[in-house]
Amino acid sequence: MNTKNTIYQDGIILTSNSVSIDENNASIQLPNKITPVTKLTDDQVEEVRHAVWKREDLREHIRESLSNEAIAKKLGVNVRTVERVIRYVISKENNG
């Protein structure tokens, strides 16, 4: 049993005294409630988790609906066509 490692779980730092590590089976037993090693309250930790979940949902929405690939598929054109339009629009905005 290892008792000195720090483990990162979903961006949260856990100390080995809050988890059980079985090196023989290469498994980690997490406690029922993961407590980050910070001075945050439980409500603040929940707020951080909620923000992360929201960010991941937004990333998925962007990937599925707003990415160059998604736009190209929706319009029935090649991705390079969308990229050329984006370059054109950006150059127009930068040059006034």
Q: Which structural domain, as residue segments, surrounds residue 13?
A: 1-37
State the pLDDT at residue 29: 60
Helix, strand, coil percent content, the chain, rounded in steps of 5? 55, 15, 30
Count of structural domains within the chain: 2
Which pair of structure tokens corresponds to residue 37? 């090693």
One domain, residues 64 and 23:
no
Mean pLDDT by 10 residues, the chain (96 residues): 48 52 58 63 89 95 95 97 95 84
One domain, residues 50 and 6:
no
| Whether pTM exceeds 0.85 | no
State the pLDDT at residue 92: 86
